[in-house]
Structure 1
């Protein structure tokens, strides 16, 4: 199954403008909409900027739009993770701003509430908010607009 929301890393040469939230880009024939910026890393040795984005795949339109139901009251939940001592290299998966999946839903990590050691394991508790794709109609309109631009069509 192809996920609707994905995390992707894009590398830019320095002084080339990185994507902003709301921008679309195409990779491997797939159009993606940037809905969040998770993190970035500057590498002065090879003059690159590596940006980790949360993106919506615009080619996937078979989903139920959820965002409008949650617009009234932004909510967050407390989550926890335990990393075994031999898996500490995965601690970057829990950096602030990154996204994680719980029961099939994607959440953005906002704030740590507890970090402790339990034996040789690292225990992390944090607050996260749900990430929702843009409305299906908006996604379809954005995809059609991008295709029109690519084909250089104008509607009069």
Structure 2
């Protein structure tokens, strides 16, 4: 599942228009469709955006039930002393994997100290992939634009 949905960081010149949700981008010679925005930051003259992207060329079987799309789950992250870099990965809006399924962190619930570990509890909502038919239609439209074709 991790080869279908992943986080991807792109950097832009500060006043250049970034990609939007639903746009196709190319990464590692594959087409990816943007399904979410995780984080935005500005460093001097660069705009950095971390996107949640879905592989547009891959066929997948995982599709969480529609009734679960609004449901949140509790995520517990244990940060050990010396491993503080993991804090960047669990910030609000970032992609978190639980039981090989993607979740987007929504908000923090609790923080606790256990011995030398920091235990952070946060809420996560399931990330739903875009249906394959819609992705293929988007890829086809993008190819037509590149080739400048019109259907009569």
TM-score scaled by structure 2?
Answer: 0.92
Structure 1: gaps of 5 or more residues: none
Q: Paired residue for 2:53? A: 55
1:141 matched residue in structure 2? 137
For residues 113 and 3 of structure 2, the distance between their equivalents in structure 1, rounded to whole angstroms, comes to 33
Structure 2, gaps ≥5 residues long? none
The Cα of 1:110 is off from its aligned counterpart by 0.3
Tell me the distance in 1 between the aligned counterparts of 2:68 and 2:121.
Answer: 26
Contact 2:68–2:126 (CA<8 Å) still a contact in 1? no
TM-score w.r.t. the length of structure 1 is 0.90
* Structure-2 change in CA distance of 1:142 and 1:124 (3 Å): same
Superimposed CA distance per residue, residues 89-115 of structure 1 (whole angstroms, 9 cap, x where no aligned partner): 221111000011011100000011111
Provide the secondary structure at the position in 2 that maps to 1:64.
Answer: coil
The 3-state SS of whatever aligns with 1:85 is coil
Q: Which moved more, 1:23-32 or 1:87-96?
A: 23-32
1:31 is displaced (CA, Å) by 1.3
- Identify the match of residue 129 of structure 1 among 125, 139, 147: 125
Task: Please tell me the root mean square deviation across aligned C-alpha atoms, in Å.
Answer: 1.7
| 2: CA distance, partners of 1:95 / 1:143 | 31
Structure 1 residue aligned with 2:41: 41
Residue of structure 1 equivalent to 2:20: 20
More displaced 10-residue stretch of structure 1: 124-133 or 143-152: 143-152
Q: Does 1:102 align with 2:89?
A: no
